[in-house]
Amino acid sequence: MAKKITFILYLVIFLFTTPVFAQVKGIYLTQYTLENTAFLKYLIKHAKAAGITTFVVDIEKPGKRYQQNIALLKANQIKYVARIVMFPDGGTAHQITSPEIWQKKYRLVEAAINFGASEIQLDYIRYKAAQKPSAENSKNIHKIIEWYKNKLSGHNIPLQVDVFGITSFGESKHIGQNVKLFAQSVDAICPMVYPSHYEPFAIHYKTPYETVYRSLSSIQKQFNNNMPIKMYAYIELSNYHYRMSHKEKIAYVKAQLKAVDHADADGWYAWSPHNRYEVLFDALSQGKQ
């Protein structure tokens, strides 16, 4: 009896003291921002205060300053996810089927791993939008993803892939993105569910929660609500189609964050092309009040 009571007490203590892995919360940085040490320190300080745990960082030209500042991230317990832009503006048929280009980009992956990347994220891994629609397009893109996954398996490094928000509702045969197909070879999918990218723009501008929630739920439905991989949603800080006040931007961001949470995604990354995250920091700080 005493042993049983002891076991129950141990179980209760374990359940209430064992840390729960938090939802991923991240921001995107250009290489230029990473190498601006003063600005990077500012972002680290405010990101940590807001509960942000991950920085997705471009790597284009590896160098000493890049390596030093990645070390600064890690010293502050910030997870480093390396973002590799595969085909800027989308690839041509020749580029997509060129192993030489894959290998060239993989050298950036190797550098990122040497600098301490926890995960690799491939972006712009798609055809140009003008590509003729075909089911073969996604298969060709998947061959690249498989190639990278096989290369990374030896390093035990997870692979993430960014996809357009439109793929939430099924395969995009023009650009060659298919979430169900890609799930066979990635560890996480990162749908860019920016309300500003959905038509009609005026409706989605006013309904950021519904736009993000519907998109993420639709991805899950593609897998009968049993996701085999992680899902990290990319959200945006403002809608470039419309002028917004700071207060409106905060409400816009909070609506997207709420949608990510309600859709049971595994986390989110916030996108700001100029890496200005004051709106996000303010939105998160208000959420704590």
Residue of 226, 221, 112 whose CA lies nearest to 159:
112
- Do residues 177 and 141 touch, judged by C-beta distance below 8 A? yes
**Alpha-carbon distances of 277 from 34, 56, 172, rounded to whole Å:** 14, 14, 31
Q: Is residue 272 in a domain? A: yes
> Residue 180's domain spans which residues?
22-288
Residue 177 domain-assigned (yes or no)? yes
Residue 30, domain CATH: 3.20.20.80
Cis peptide before 158, with omega less than 30 degrees from 0?
no
What is the DSSP secondary structure assignment for residue 169, as one 8-state letter?
A: G
Predicted model pTM: 0.90
Domain count, the chain: 1
pLDDT tens string, the chain, 289 residues long: the values are 554 444 333 333 333 433 333 489 999 999 999 999 999 999 999 999 999 999 999 999 999 999 999 999 999 999 999 999 999 999 999 999 999 999 999 999 999 999 999 999 999 999 999 999 999 999 999 999 999 999 999 899 999 999 999 999 999 999 999 999 999 999 999 999 999 999 999 999 999 999 999 999 999 999 999 999 999 999 999 998 989 999 999 999 999 999 999 999 999 999 999 999 999 999 998 865 4
In a domain, 189, yes or no: yes
Across the strands, what pairs with 25?
A: 268
Read off φ and ψ for residue 210, nearest 5 degrees: -60, -40
Evaluated on CA atoms 83, 85, 90, 91, the torsion sign reads: negative
